[in-house]
Amino acid sequence: MVHLKIFAIIVAAGKGLRMGSKIKKQYLCLGRIPILARTIMQFDKCDQVDEIVLVIPEQDREYCQKQVVDPYGFGKKIHLVDGGKERQQSVLNGLKWVGDTIKLEKQTIVMIHDGVRPFVDQTVIEACIQNAIEYGACVPAVKITDTVKDVCKDLSVKKTVDRQSLYTVQTPQTFRFDLLLRAFDHAVKTSFLGTDDASLVEHLGHRVVIVNGSKLNIKITTQEDLDLGKVLLSET
């Protein structure tokens, strides 16, 4: 039997402009440890994950190696890959690296995770892996409980949206490697730009299933998110 290979592709190639900081958000510290390093830790301690691919800005290679990777003694192999101008291109760069590295594509699972989601837990990671193995494509999501309004450009309410079937989607979005690569190829051929990786698989016509995410699995993009992250860290 061929061993199932699982890669975690952690995407951290953005500029983080919404944070309003001179330091890119992925390198800001939570409890004296960079956010990105804390994110890596979650996948490094997952026994099912074989290797980690870190997609970062090209000019950050040396900094990231010395400040994020080297100081924390990670047990898994961590590979640095240059990102692109858009997130979709960055993910594709990570996929191409995996494709150039492995031989048996259908025996490979890839997890695409935001570099600034450091509070993803092992239960979510493992559920995503198992469902991706079974169904080919899986995303963690949380059911919306707030009332949702459809709003006009002038900020007047158009209507209240039925929230019964609405979920907010998180990462790691997890797929069979060959399926996700086909979805990216199809997106390029059809000039499709998705809002997340799963939307590309949906555009291909393949079913995507949902597993329970966590409200603690926050994405740190603003100062308010960083403040919340500090609170969460103090309570863990």
Q: For position 128, which CATH number holds?
A: 3.90.550.10
Domain holding 31, by residue range, is 5-231
Q: How much of the chain exceeds pLDDT 90, in percent?
A: 88
- The answer to the question of residue 167 being in a domain is yes
What is the Cα–Cα distance from 85 to 227, expressed in whole angstroms?
28
Residue 31 lies in a domain: yes
Mean pLDDT across the stretch 206-235?
A: 94
Q: For residue 234, what pLDDT is reported? A: 87
| Residue 236 covered by a domain | no
Is residue 215 in a domain? yes
- Output the pTM of the full model: 0.94
Predicted confidence (pLDDT) per residue in 163-176, tens digit: 999 999 999 999 99
What is the rounded average pLDDT of the residues 13-31?
78
Domain presence at residue 155: yes
Average pLDDT over residues 17-28: 77
For residues 126-141, average pLDDT:
97
pLDDT for residue 18 is more than 80: no
Number of domains within the chain: 1
Q: Using pLDDT thresholds of 50, 70 and 90, give the confidence band for residue 14.
A: confident
| Alpha helix (H) residue ranges in the chain | 35-44, 61-64, 87-101, 122-135, 177-189, 197-204, 223-235
Please tell me the predicted confidence (pLDDT) of residue 1.
Answer: 44
